[in-house]
């Protein structure tokens, strides 16, 4: 059975330039490693502002290939600190074809795999369908020196199917790099409920799949004005839930932070033995899950 390891969650805001953000992230990875982390996850689109607040063709210039500045810089950071790094980036796959992607980078600096965001939201201030083609690689569990892990992205975290499909591929932990926050005009009335729902659904993934879940959010206010698309307040609150859904560590709402959390793979095995949800699935009865709705 895989030995215990330490996960590092980097809750951060971007710097003024991509180069500065990459340098900042590398420094935070070193800090997490110095605190004992073996595996470090960064937030969604961490190297740039959250440009999806509006529809702007010029923002496509921020995209890069898989072998681009972000993965190269994070590969150096992974080698220097001897850690696995989960590094999200804005992928330019080809002319007019872009994805919201992450790379899993091993301790030797090799990209062991990529995941392209499958579920793409489109709401005021989150205009992602304008930018991103839905992922075509499916759900994946990536081998690491510490066992297989799953890595999904932000909006994916609301879909139980994504968590279950990744768990069934052997993941003992799910990482969700995230960019989620409040519209200023909604925060007073709906803010607490929205944040609680976000935490609850991910704790449920931990419980129903018997694994660890880590949500790694960005933090800070981006943009100006109160209208939709004007500004967003990213609510931080990065956390890790254990296989029983207990929150074992959480970052603040309004500040950058590094969390380091001890992960015990044996607890995944123990929990699944006592709560055998995977065993008791009725795979013969789930045909309807491949349809958008029931019988027409």
Tokens of 70: 């972000």
> Among the options 18, 24, 41, 44, which is catalytic?
44
Helix (H) or strand (E) segment spanning residue 9: strand 5-11
Tokens of 280: 């008791």
C-alpha to C-alpha distance for 267 and 251, rounded to whole angstroms: 23
> Among the options 18, 128, 154, 233, which is catalytic?
154
Tokens of 206: 């931990």
Q: How many CB atoms lie within 10 A of CB 166?
A: 27
Contacts of 170 (CB under 8 A, 6+ apart): 141, 148
Tokens of 89: 């980036």
Tokens of 34: 């110095």
| Residues facing residue 239 across a β-bridge | 215, 250
| Residues facing residue 217 across a β-bridge | 178
Say whether 196 is catalytic. no
Say whether 117 is catalytic. yes
Q: Is 241 exposed, middle or buried (0-12, 13-18, 19+ CB in 10 A)?
A: buried
Q: Are 71 and 89 in contact (CB under 8 A)?
A: yes
Helix (H) or strand (E) segment spanning residue 97: strand 97-105
Say whether 154 is catalytic. yes
Counted residue by residue, the chain has a size of 296
> Among the options 41, 117, 128, 233, which is catalytic?
117
The Cα-based distances of 55 to 58, 88, 182, 294 in angstroms read 9, 20, 19, 34
Residues carrying an active site annotation: 44, 117, 154
């Amino acid at each position: 059975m895989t030995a215990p390891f330490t996960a590092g969650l980097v809750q951060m805001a971007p710097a003024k330039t991509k180069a500065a953000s990459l340098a900042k992230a590398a420094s935070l990875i070193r800090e997490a490693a110095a605190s004992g982390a073996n595996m470090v996850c960064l937030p969604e689109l961490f190297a740039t502002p959250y440009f999806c607040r509006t529809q702007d063709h010029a923002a496509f210039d921020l995209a890069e290939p898989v072998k681009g500045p972000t993965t190269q810089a994070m590969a150096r950071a992974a080698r220097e600190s001897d850690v696995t790094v989960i590094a999200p980036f804005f992928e330019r796959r080809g002319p007019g074809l872009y994805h919201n992607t992450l790379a899993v980078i091993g301790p030797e600096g090799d990209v062991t795999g990529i995941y392209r965001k499958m579920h793409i939201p489109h709401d005021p201030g989150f205009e992602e369908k304008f930018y991103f083609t839905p992922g075509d690689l499916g759900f994946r569990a990536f081998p690491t020196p510490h066992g297989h892990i799953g890595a999904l992205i932000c909006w994916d975290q609301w879909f139980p199917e994504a968590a279950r499909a990744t768990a069934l591929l052997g993941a003992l932990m799910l990482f969700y790099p995230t960019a989620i926050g409040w519209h200023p005009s909604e925060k007073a009335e709906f803010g607490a409920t929205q944040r609680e729902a976000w935490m609850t659904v991910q704790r449920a993934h931990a419980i129903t799949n018997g694994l660890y879940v880590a949500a790694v959010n960005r933090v800070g206010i981006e943009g100006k004005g109160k209208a939709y698309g004007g500004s967003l307040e990213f609510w931080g609150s990065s956390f890790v839930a254990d296989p029983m859904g207990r929150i074992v560590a959480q970052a603040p709402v309004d500040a950058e932070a590094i969390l380091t959390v001890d992960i015990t793979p044996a607890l995944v095995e123990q929990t699944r033995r006592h709560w055998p949800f995977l065993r008791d699935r009725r795979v013969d009865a789930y045909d309807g899950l491949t349809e958008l709705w029931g019988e027409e």
